[in-house]
Amino acid sequence: GFVPYHERNIVLIGFMGAGKTTIGKVLAAKLSREFIDVDELISTERGMPVTEIFRTLGEEAFRRMEKEYIRELCLQKRDAVLSVGGGAFLQEEIRDLCMANAAVFLMDIPWEQWKTRLPLIRDSRPILQNKTDEEIRALYETRQAIYERHHFKVDAGSQTPEAAAQAMADWL
Ligand code: S3P
């Protein structure tokens, strides 16, 4: 039967640098739940940063790992807060799995606000490297389509992480 959202794992999605990890940590503390950053878990278990996985094994290999880890976590955990990479929802299987089994929250941020964060995250994200500002803007726009699958949209641009986490807790 239908499992109420507050009894499910929480999954935070959204574009790189939107605040998934920051807000997710605040929410997990607020709800006394375990917090797991899936990219961080993958890099710890593989013994290399995500940039290094992209460079040596390639994006396709990373996407396979991402799918396996998210699937396992969704099945094994019951009340965790999971922050997933901004590209995770590119995979239909991950979208379907999370929508059916978790409470999916979109960290939403308008381009005008997001672009001010670009200098802070540019070097640590393989997807942003070797791209012009226009290409990054185009990527931002096309990514919005995959983020349409969610249960609740959170304003992650103009409110504090604390307020964003509170809005999520209230919705649950
Ligand atoms: C990616 C986002 C990153 C990370 C990888 C690919 C993407 O996660 O998974 O660099 O394709 O958008 P964050 O959204 O946490 O930066």
pLDDT tens digit string along 90-112? 999 999 999 999 999 999 999 99
Q: 144 labelled as ligand-binding?
A: no
Q: Is the CB of 127 under 6 A from ligand 1?
A: yes
pLDDT at 172 over 90: yes
Average pLDDT, the chain: 97
Q: 125 labelled as ligand-binding?
A: yes
pLDDT tens digit string along 42-67? 999 999 999 999 999 999 999 999 99
Total domains present in the chain = 1
**Given the CA of residue 121, which atom of ligand 1 is nearest to it?**
16
Q: Is the CB of 128 under 6 A from ligand 1?
A: no
pLDDT the model gives residue 36: 98
Give the sign of the dihedral formed by CA 150, CA 162, CA 28, CA 52: positive
pLDDT at 37 over 90: yes
Q: Strands of 102-108's sheet, edge to edge?
A: 35-37, 81-83, 9-13, 102-108, 152-155
**Given the CA of residue 17, which atom of ligand 1 is nearest to it?**
16
Query: What is the per-residue DSSP string for 122-141?
Result: GGG-GGGTT--HHHHHHHHH
**Given the CA of residue 20, which atom of ligand 1 is nearest to it?**
15
CA of 39 to the centre of ligand 1 (A): 8
- Whose Cα sits closest to atom 15 in ligand 1? 85
What is the mean predicted confidence (pLDDT) over 21-39? Answer: 98
Q: Is the CB of 156 under 6 A from ligand 1?
A: no
Q: 39 labelled as ligand-binding?
A: yes
pLDDT the model gives residue 1: 81
Q: 143 labelled as ligand-binding?
A: yes
**Given the CA of residue 83, which atom of ligand 1 is nearest to it?**
15
How far is it, in rounded angstroms, from Cα 122 to Cα 24?
A: 21
pLDDT tens digit string along 150-167? 999 999 999 999 999 999
CATH number for the domain that contains residue 68:
3.40.50.300
Domain housing 85: 5-171
Give, in order, the Cα–Cα distances in Å from 94 to each of 5, 122, 147, 149, 166. 18, 25, 12, 11, 26
pLDDT tens digit string along 119-146? 999 999 999 999 999 999 999 999 999 9
